[in-house]
Structure 1
Amino acid sequence: MKKKILFAIDSLDVAGAEKSLVTLLTMLDYTKYSVDLMLFAHGKLLEELVPKEVNILRPLDYTKFSELNLKQALIYSVKNFDYKMLTSRINYSLEIRKKQYSNPQKARVYWQCVSNVIEHNPKEYDIAISYAQGVPTFYVAEKVKAKKKLAWVNVSYRLNKEDKEFQQQFYNQYYKIVAVSESAMAVFLETFPVYLDKMEVIYDINNPDLISKMAEIGESYEDQFVGIRILTIGRLAHQKGYDIALEACKKLKEQGINFRWYSLGKGPLKEEITTYIKENNLSENFILLGVKANPYPYIKNADIYVQTSRFEGFGLAIAEARMLNIPVVTTRFDAVYNQMGDEKNGLVVDMNSDAVANGILRIIQDKQLQKRIINYLKVEKKGNVEEIEKFYQLIDQSNTKECMAK
């Protein structure tokens, strides 16, 4: 009999954890596993890449309700004589406006406001996996029945006392907690040292054959630009260090470099970034391309990949650039040395615009360094499909400790 597995993640928008999950799903042996997928937002770009064997569960009632405009939500509530979801939605909306919340804080406030109207999953699973922090972790812990529950930690973040205490009640219900790198595990254990014996490390799975094939299909740059193409992939958010990238871009322009710096991503800082670009006359130098379901032709046709992140659990886009033999310039975030060798497959620089700009200049101007890095990239180990064996070992362990949500 097939093992029943549930994965839960916020959505399948284009980001590192989401791409990692889709890659994992494409590699699973569906003769052994029956897989359900719970999403808290539907219709995102990567959904079309989910294997047909995966059953994407219908949206939660509250997910559908939250997509209604306020007038529609009020009509729905009056028609059904049920105001619980409307009250939860208003409470969350009012609370989130009170101050600037971090992502972990937003997830806590969301769950505190709406968990009472989130229905339980009616099935019972052998394995239930929260593949992201926050709401998926709370949902699997509280709303799912499973013999074993596994939580993925795919970003390095630190929690204040209130969020630590809130999240601990959910992590207590997990059999194992999986970090995507040793550094992500170390940061997590700074907050939750009590979980040392529960921790495992399984890297985000990268399949170089799949990425190489996808790099040959689909759209790429269409501007006919002749010069140095620089690419950054990442959500337009503080974590990704776009302020550092923009300042570095300005410095490169001041030095007369013939380049364009492209960004693939969307996020809350789009307006701020757009304003900076206009005010600093960088419209021909820093190009926002939005999100692309298939970013690999853009990576393949770039000259340099740049990551200006402040923190990452692993840095999946860097791994993808490496698999396509593109030199990398990256800031020195927590997990960077899990895959980067400074002066080997790229340059690891300090977390400021001067260091980033100088790193890019070195790659452009030092042809011997550029050649040495590309030659190294061509022969270094690509991908880590063997990580799937760690995943199988974890879910097939004989210990079937019960961790049923109450």
Structure 2
Amino acid sequence: MKILFVAQNFQMGGIQKALINMLKEISLYEKYEIDVFTFSGGELMNDIPSNVKVTTGNLLLQLIATPFAEVKKRNNVWHIILRIVCMIVVRLIGSHNFYSMLLKKHRNNCHYDIAISYFNDVPNQYFNKGTNLFVDQFVIADRKLAWIHTDPIKANFNYEACVKTYKNFDRLLCVSVACKENLINFLPQYQHKIQVVYNFFPIEEIKELACQYTPFHKSELDLISVGRIENSTKRFDLIPHLCKLLKEASINNFRWRILGDGPDLLSNQQLALQLGVEDVVEFVGEMKNPYPFIKCSDVFVLTSAYEGYPMVIGEALIVQTPVITTDFAAAGEQICNGHNGLITGFNIQDIFQVISSVMKNTELLHNMKNYIEENHYTNKKAQEQLVLEFDVHDRI
């Protein structure tokens, strides 16, 4: 079976890691011949299995599919100018026309059994799109699938654009049951082709990587958060405020480490200084291997406003670290409240109350860790779901 995955880039990110994990899983089966077409590269390119054939877009497509902040970091004046020109052109002629011109030059004449647009392809943005368009108009395939990684309503998907975009796809695959339900509510006319496939995790690999080094000296209680430092969705700016509330409650015996990079990193560092919590919160930066930090921490904390099926929660549970998370739609699909973690409201006071209660109740933390050790994380459900989608030909 010949399968094509289409990606925007392989920069460090949850969707990119989810794709890497899926490629690792299905590349183990000889019956699947896998191609990847990615608009741009990134640091995760080296993690793609060696038996997967990878094609990358031309320079113009690479620049468009790379976040502008990353382009500026490269200090290539011509690339920056070209990216700015593209930003002007796309506003003049529209995203659809712009991407159509670019993608037509990358038309794929191979015949695939399945072609997959793996990124959200957010219709309301000028960039961060094109994978759906490419699979729909420039790929020959028996079946075409689109992956949905988030809540379409909270992520502000455009209804008219989605109706048009997903019309020619055979399946819309969501990363959680909650995501599926939200998409059905958003696009009820397509409910017959909306299904769920959970994210995969390289479980043994994560366990091995988690033991590669000792990242820090233990405090009485170590908290950790990992992700792209972007406040509108991930809300990392809440963490300095939460640290201030904890210190005001005379809770000082902790260290909260934040792993990741992103557009709001500097402003969050400045906020920590302004609030006087730089002694308990540490911005570690981006780590290629964050798992030792997660494994050595007592609690993983996710503060997001919304999520689809976050990779970081699964990764924390694999290395046996209990989780405190906001109550995003699919939280209950990963967290058994009170057993392997705790689910809290989105309000800063709600998060503070849960964190402070854990800090005061070491027995609760101990019990959650024991539960995780006795209930190992597996890919079984995701494997069953994927087989149903990929092997549909065998059932016809």
How would you bin the TM-score normalised by the shorter chain? 0.7 to 0.9
Give the whole-Å Cα distance in 1 for the aligned partners of 2:245 and 2:335.
Answer: 25
Q: Secondary structure at the match of 2:258?
A: strand
- The answer to whether residue 102 in structure 2 is matched with residue 117 in structure 1 is yes
Shift of 1:236: 1.4
From the superposition, tell whether residues 351 and 386 of structure 1 become closer, same or farther in structure 2 (CA, over 3 Å): closer
- The answer to whether residue 230 in structure 2 is matched with residue 230 in structure 1 is no
Shift of 1:389: 3.4
Give the percent of matched residue pairs that are identical in Structure 1 and Structure 2: 26
Structure 2 matches for 1:57-96, cutoff 5 A? 57-64=55-62, 71=78, 88-92=86-90
The one-letter code matched in structure 2 to 1:41 is: S
The equivalent residue for 2:174 is 179
Shift of 1:155: 1.1
- The answer to whether residue 386 in structure 2 is matched with residue 388 in structure 1 is no
Whether the 8 Å contact between 1:14 and 1:292 is mirrored in structure 2 is no
- The answer to whether residue 393 in structure 2 is matched with residue 398 in structure 1 is yes
From the superposition, tell whether residues 288 and 198 of structure 1 become closer, same or farther in structure 2 (CA, over 3 Å): same
Structure 2 portions without partners, runs of 5+: 65-70, 122-128
Give the whole-Å Cα distance in 2 for the aligned partners of 1:400 and 1:375.
Answer: 42
From the superposition, tell whether residues 8 and 378 of structure 1 become closer, same or farther in structure 2 (CA, over 3 Å): same
The equivalent residue for 2:315 is 320
The one-letter code matched in structure 1 to 2:99 is: V
Give the whole-Å Cα distance in 1 for the aligned partners of 2:222 and 2:137.
Answer: 47
Give CA deviations for 1:11-35 in whole Å, capped at 9, x if unaligned.
Answer: 2233222222211111213421221
Whether the 8 Å contact between 2:234 and 2:305 is mirrored in structure 1 is yes
- The answer to whether residue 387 in structure 2 is matched with residue 376 in structure 1 is no
Give the whole-Å Cα distance in 2 for the aligned partners of 1:383 and 1:363.
Answer: 26
Structure 2 matches for 1:4-403, cutoff 5 A? 4-28=2-26, 29-44=28-43, 46-64=44-62, 71=78, 88-92=86-90, 110-118=95-103, 119=105, 120-134=107-121, 135=129, 136-158=131-153, 163-217=158-212, 219=213, 221-222=215-216, 224=217, 226-237=219-230, 238-254=232-248, 255-398=250-393
Shift of 1:269: 1.8
Give the whole-Å Cα distance in 2 for the aligned partners of 1:27 and 1:121.
Answer: 25
From the superposition, tell whether residues 73 and 363 of structure 1 become closer, same or farther in structure 2 (CA, over 3 Å): closer
Give CA deviations for 1:153-206 in whole Å, capped at 9, x if unaligned.
Answer: 111131799922123222111111111111011111222111100011111112
Q: Which has the higher contact order (CA 8 A, sep 6+)?
A: 1
Give the whole-Å Cα distance in 2 for the aligned partners of 1:317 and 1:60.
Answer: 32
Give the whole-Å Cα distance in 2 for the aligned partners of 1:332 and 1:128.
Answer: 33
Number of aligned positions between the proteins: 374
Shift of 1:36: 1.2
From the superposition, tell whether residues 65 and 177 of structure 1 become closer, same or farther in structure 2 (CA, over 3 Å): closer
Whether the 8 Å contact between 1:181 and 1:338 is mirrored in structure 2 is yes
Q: Secondary structure at the match of 2:165?
A: helix
Whether the 8 Å contact between 2:149 and 2:174 is mirrored in structure 1 is yes
From the superposition, tell whether residues 235 and 109 of structure 1 become closer, same or farther in structure 2 (CA, over 3 Å): farther
The one-letter code matched in structure 2 to 1:43 is: G
From the superposition, tell whether residues 60 and 399 of structure 1 become closer, same or farther in structure 2 (CA, over 3 Å): farther
The one-letter code matched in structure 2 to 1:127 is: I
Whether the 8 Å contact between 1:331 and 1:350 is mirrored in structure 2 is yes
Give the whole-Å Cα distance in 1 for the aligned partners of 2:21 and 2:383.
Answer: 10
Q: Secondary structure at the match of 1:333?
A: coil
Whether the 8 Å contact between 1:128 and 1:149 is mirrored in structure 2 is yes
RMSD over equivalenced CA pairs, Å? 2.7
Give CA deviations for 1:273-317 in whole Å, capped at 9, x if unaligned.
Answer: 122112112222222222222221111111110011111111221
Q: Secondary structure at the match of 1:122?
A: strand
From the superposition, tell whether residues 220 and 54 of structure 1 become closer, same or farther in structure 2 (CA, over 3 Å): farther
The one-letter code matched in structure 1 to 2:46 is: E
Structure 1 portions without partners, runs of 5+: 77-84, 96-107, 402-406
Q: TM-score, structure 1 length as denominator?
A: 0.84
